[in-house]
Structure 1
């Protein structure tokens, strides 16, 4: 089985050595062994764990939750139901975040269209209800009709 240094792992996962040390000190890497000099040594078996940690971290899951999940992983098969429930919970949370991000992206695209047309006209007053600075809802409807992905 091949051994990897902390530097190898940092490079592979696009994080700093300091980040991996922090993860270890935070209890996210309970599987990591140390050599006689006290240096962290990673093995092929650890790659799967690091991939999971990387995914969970990029999904904005708190370190405390990742720490608990990793403890369950190391504990073995008795924790499979907990790990499965955790993944179901995290999937639902990530899907909710994605929905919010998609709505935000849709709004930003509408505003991009709005400002492109306002720039073209030299004024945004073309969008306002007469005598106000309120955007007439007909323009959002027009945009949505032109950009619906049905």
Structure 2
């Protein structure tokens, strides 16, 4: 997975270098270090479905999910942080293939910093273009509302 560093909080994931996120992850439900969650708990915490979580694991977007002695998936705070980051990437409209590529690059370590940055910069440009388009649409709506309010 990846390591996301937000302000002074480092979110560690297996074999991954530092990554910088603009916003800190949400507080963990179990910050005391006892961070083991069942798939149903993660579903309740994230709003994702169990099917989606299994799919993320299958396509390589979610890596290294531990298993209990009975084979049940056991998620940790690090997984919740990663899922939060993936959720942000989804909100940007980043294609799943690019998210998977980002996860693969993160697993490869520091030598992929430039490629990951380029991927995120490209996504940021797309988001900025969408924001500009929405701002133009908002301006039209505001003019129409003002017209009908007069």
- TM bucket (normalised to shorter chain) is 0.5 to 0.7
Higher helix share goes to which structure? 1
Higher Cα Rg, which structure:
1
The alpha-carbon deviation at position 26 of structure 1 amounts to 2.8
**C-alpha distance after superposition, 1:63-120 (max 9, x if no partner):** 1110110111122222122112212111111111111111111112222233344xxx
Counterparts in 2 of 1:75 and 1:31: CA distance versus 1, 3 Å: farther
Structure 2 gap segments, 5+ residues each: 1-32
> What is the RMSD of the two structures over their aligned residues, measured on CA atoms?
1.9
Please give the TM-score of this superposition, normalised by the length of structure 1. Answer: 0.67
**How many residue pairs were aligned?**
117
1:26 alignment counterpart: 59
Give the whole-Å Cα distance in 2 for the aligned partners of 1:9 and 1:89: 30
Instruction: Return the alpha-carbon distance in structure 2 between the equivalents of residues 45 and 20 of structure 1.
Output: 14
Residue pairs, 1:1-150, within 5 angstroms: 1=33, 2-117=35-150
Unaligned runs of 5+ in 1: 118-150
SS class of match (2:48): coil
**Structure 1 stretches of 4+ moved >6 Å:** none
Rounded Cα–Cα distance in structure 1 between residues aligned with 2:98 and 2:141: 32
